[in-house]
């Protein structure tokens, strides 16, 4: 039997003024799995992620967590549930070290003094739990890190807070072959540790390398969410570009329901 999704969206609509960006979108993210969210530019991926993260309120539909309806009105609400999003710009501060970045805005204190020892131990423990071996010291300045190491720190920062759903926005963009392999290995490890990982990517090789399911958006509608093993590269491209591949997908190429 299929496990219960940690995160599930049902019939999500989102408009900005007269422009409707999301149309009755259904989406599910399961524990221990990587779900790849794919779609062309303008398909609605960013809007859907910002609805998941509480940046954009949904107009209508249901947001469920552990099969229970919840209301997410802000990123703080999403974080309280255990939803963390790593955006493409990573939001890291070059002038701070790894520990300072991982606890930025959530610093541990002992009275009125920062508890640097505890934060350092927690940062090191989190990186170790993810089998990260490319970072020499948690007191390295982020400015000294490679692109792959920066991505690793951003992911570890998300995992640090007992997150259960981690959304990664194009984590391998602008990375070389070796660094991409390291990040994809880390993505897979997150899922193997029981987290639900949502991977946004345009790179079909990355998608097929690590994902368990693929959710394809087309013009603001969910064309299909299918096990990766049941799809070919060509089918995914057709779902992205036309919203349909054979018997799979939306009712017609315009995304209209029949």
Handedness of CA 42, 24, 65, 16 (dihedral sign): positive
The predicted model scores a pTM of 0.89
33, 55, 174, 202, 209 from 89: Cα distances, Å: 24, 16, 11, 16, 23
Domain boundaries, the chain: 7-91+163-249
| Model confidence band, residue 255 (pLDDT cutoffs 50, 70, 90) | very low
8, 143, 160, 196 from 129: Cα distances, Å: 27, 24, 10, 16
Q: 212 and 181 in contact (C-beta within 8 Å)?
A: no
Q: For residue 101, what pLDDT is reported?
A: 94
Judged against a pLDDT cut of 80, whether residue 1 lies above it is answered with no
Q: For residue 2, what pLDDT is reported?
A: 59
Q: What is the C-alpha radius of gyration for the chain, rounded to an integer number of angstroms?
A: 19
CATH homologous superfamily for 7-91+163-249? P-loop containing nucleotide triphosphate hydrolases (3.40.50.300)
- Average pLDDT estimate for 192-198: 94
| Model confidence band, residue 166 (pLDDT cutoffs 50, 70, 90) | very high
Please name the residue that has the structure tokens 């949904």: 58
């Amino acid at each position: 039997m299929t496990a219960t999704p940690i995160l599930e969206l049902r019939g999500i609509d989102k408009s900005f003024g007269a422009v409707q960006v999301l149309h009755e979108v259904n989406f599910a993210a399961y524990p221990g799995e990587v779900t790849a969210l794919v779609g062309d530019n303008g398909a609605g991926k960013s809007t859907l992620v910002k609805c998941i993260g509480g940046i954009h309120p949904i107009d209508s539909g249901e947001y469920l967590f552990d099969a229970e309806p919840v209301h997410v009105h802000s990123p703080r609400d999403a974080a309280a549930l255990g939803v963390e999003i790593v955006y493409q710009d990573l939001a890291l501060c070059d002038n701070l070290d790894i520990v300072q970045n991982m606890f930025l805005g959530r610093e541990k204190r002992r009275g009125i003094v920062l508890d640097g020892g505890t934060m350092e131990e927690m940062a090191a423990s989190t990186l170790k739990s993810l089998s990260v071996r490319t970072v020499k010291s948690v007191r390295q300045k982020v400015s000294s890190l490679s692109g792959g190491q920066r991505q690793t720190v951003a992911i570890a920062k998300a995992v640090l807070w007992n997150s259960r759903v981690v959304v990664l926005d194009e984590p391998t963009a602008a990375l070389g072959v070796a660094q991409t392999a390291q990040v994809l290995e880390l993505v897979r490890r997150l899922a193997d540790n029981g987290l639900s990982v949502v991977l946004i990517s345009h790179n079909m090789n990355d998608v097929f390398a690590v994902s368990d399911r693929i959710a394809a958006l087309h013009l603001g509608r969910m064309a299909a969410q299918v096990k990766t093993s049941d799809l070919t590269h060509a089918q995914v491209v057709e779902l992205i570009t036309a919203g349909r591949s054979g018997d799979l997908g939306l009712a017609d190429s315009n995304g209209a329901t029949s």
